[in-house]
Amino acid sequence: MTIWILGATGRTGREIATRVAARGGTPVLVGRNADRLRKTAADLGLGGVEVIATDDLPGEIGRRRPAVVVNTIGGYAETAVPIARACLPGGGHYVDLANDLVAMPRLLALHDEAAAAGSTFVTGAGFGVLGVEAVVARLCADRVTPSRVRVDALPSVTIEGGPLGEALAQSIVSGLTTGGLRFENGRMVPTRPAADPREHALPDGEKAKSAGAPTGELLAAQLSSGAPEVVSTSGLMPTAPVLRAVLPLIRSLLKIGALRRFAVRRLGAIELKPAPRPREHSWGHAVVTWADGTTREGWLRAGDAMEFTTSVTAETAVRLARGEGRAGAYTPARALGPELAEAAGATICQL
Ligand SMILES: NC(=O)c1ccc[n+]([C@@H]2O[C@H](COP(=O)([O-])OP(=O)(O)OC[C@H]3O[C@@H](n4cnc5c(N)ncnc54)[C@H](OP(=O)(O)O)[C@@H]3O)[C@@H](O)[C@H]2O)c1
């Protein structure tokens, strides 16, 4: 049950370590600075746990062979593959919180290597990906492949305050530079950024807006349904016409390497003011349509999206440590079933 948390001094790393311990797993706090790691362990009430400070994560993993590695250091397009590969000897497992369409396909491309080693690799262990794919999986259970799927990820998050951080800034900038994407005839094709804005009447009577987002939910919805036509929107995308109009310009500017690095540094240094979450619930939503015209709609309800994310990651890590995952590389519900979302605190309902 030894579960290494890489980036354990960070926002998600700390929470995941606490939740792994609460589920009976043995977290090991891994980072770059031993003093900060020991202080984090003490702050979390995990004084007895092992801490490992290293500048060579793949090397250390290869030497010590933990049962599960949870990667919260971000920059997943570059960090995920070497760290996951280091888990392969001995059949170690790997989990990350990626949610972008560069990093996730790279990790999923390791499927055959992971399957051959008896390892399970899970990418996208967070609110958005599991929040929509769990609903799609339930709606599609025991049915033929649908022709069309639409998913919407509508997170509600409490802002703790403090710097945004470069790991999260990198994810935001990566989302802005990817441009709009959708599946047509089974292939991912470009579309306008923040396309298809809409307002949702939520099951609890509240309202939320969303627009097209080139994020992991799109890929997860396609993989869990097999549908040739898939669109995905996110509540984190701007829906105001003026902002949607300038997105193509921002995207072009951020493609310039120096500007992109500058934007990540500046964005990461922004001090967030503490704020309560705007709505009580976060929602994942899916509408699935079959060739005969049948349509099914479902919702996943969670509380704070960040708490749900860290709960999903901890639950995934503990299940993998128990040997419950299928060997190969997957998104969370495909590795462990849609009930993973319920074990992490969500409710799924079909209309
Ligand atoms: N999918 C989702 O729903 C979801 C939700 C939340 C977050 N995320 C993603 O999860 C990642 C972590 O977010 P966060 O808010 O926890 O970030 P954070 O607070 O900035 O923490 C990042 C941690 O990683 C460490 N780190 C950064 N770069 C490293 C490197 N090159 N080598 C070793 N350690 C490194 C940092 O250590 P130091 O203290 O040494 O700097 C810190 O402990 C981000 O990519 C974010 O986008 C995804």
**CB of 216 closer than 6 angstroms to any ligand 1 atom:** no
**pLDDT tens digits for 38-94?**
999 999 999 899 999 999 999 999 999 999 999 999 999 999 999 999 999 989 999
Which overall architecture, per CATH, does domain 127-304 show? 2-Layer Sandwich (3.30)
Cβ neighbours for 19, distance < 8 A, ≥ 6 positions apart = 310, 311, 313, 314, 315
Mutation probe of ligand 1 site: the residue of 29, 61, 72 with most atoms within 8 A of C-beta:
72
DSSP state of 147: S
Per-chain mean pLDDT for the chain: 94
Q: Where in the chain is the domain with CATH 3.30.360.10?
A: 127-304
Residue 351, pLDDT > 80, answer no
- pLDDT the model gives residue 218: 97
Annotation: CATH topology of 2-126+307-344: Rossmann fold (3.40.50)
**pLDDT-derived band at 302, boundaries 50, 70, 90:** very high
Centre of ligand 1 from the C-alpha of residue 255, in Å: 22
Per this entry, what is the length of the chain? 351
* Distance from the alpha carbon of residue 10 to the mean position of ligand 1, in angstroms: 6
Q: What is the predicted pLDDT for the residue at 171? A: 78
Q: So what's the pLDDT on residue 203?
A: 96
Cα–Cα nearest to 35, from 61, 9, 15: 9
Q: Is 71 in the pocket of ligand 1 (CB under 6 A)?
A: no
CA-CA distances (angstroms) from residue 265 to 33, 55, 167, 169, 260? 21, 21, 10, 8, 9
- Name the residue at shortest CA distance from atom 15 of ligand 1: 11
Identity of the residue numbered 246: V
By most ligand atoms within 8 Å of CB, the mutation choice from 6, 9, 215 for ligand 1 is 9
Query: What are the pLDDT digits (tens) for 155-203?
Result: 999 998 888 888 888 878 887 888 899 999 999 999 988 888 999 999 9
- Mean pLDDT within 260-264: 92
- Name residue 130's amino acid: L
Q: What are the start and end residues of each CATH 3.40.50.720 domain in the chain? A: 2-126+307-344
Answer yes or no: is the C-beta of 111 below 6 A from any ligand 1 atom. no
Question: Which atom of ligand 1 is closest in space to residue 168's alpha carbon?
Answer: 47
Longest dimension (CA), the chain: 62
Dihedral angle, C-alpha 94, 95, 96, 98, nearest 10 °: 100
**pTM, two decimal places:** 0.95
The number of beta carbons lying within 10 Å of the beta carbon of residue 56 is 10
Element (H, E) at 81: helix 76-86
Per the structure block, which two tokens stand in for 286?
A: 């899916």
Q: Is 31 in the pocket of ligand 1 (CB under 6 A)?
A: yes
Task: Note the pLDDT of residue 255.
Answer: 87
| Least-confidence region, from 126-140, 226-240, 318-332 | 226-240
Q: What is the pLDDT of residues 233-258, one digit of tens each?
A: 999 887 888 777 888 888 888 889 89
Question: What are the E-state strand segments in 144-228?
Answer: 148-154, 162-163, 180-184, 187-191, 198-201, 207-212
- In 3D space, the residue among 35, 63, 50 whose CA is nearest the CA of residue 5 turns out to be 50
Characterize the bridge pairing of strands 26-31 and 2-6: parallel
Q: Is the CB of 32 under 6 A from ligand 1?
A: yes
Residue 239 pLDDT: 82
By most ligand atoms within 8 Å of CB, the mutation choice from 37, 73, 309, 310 for ligand 1 is: 73
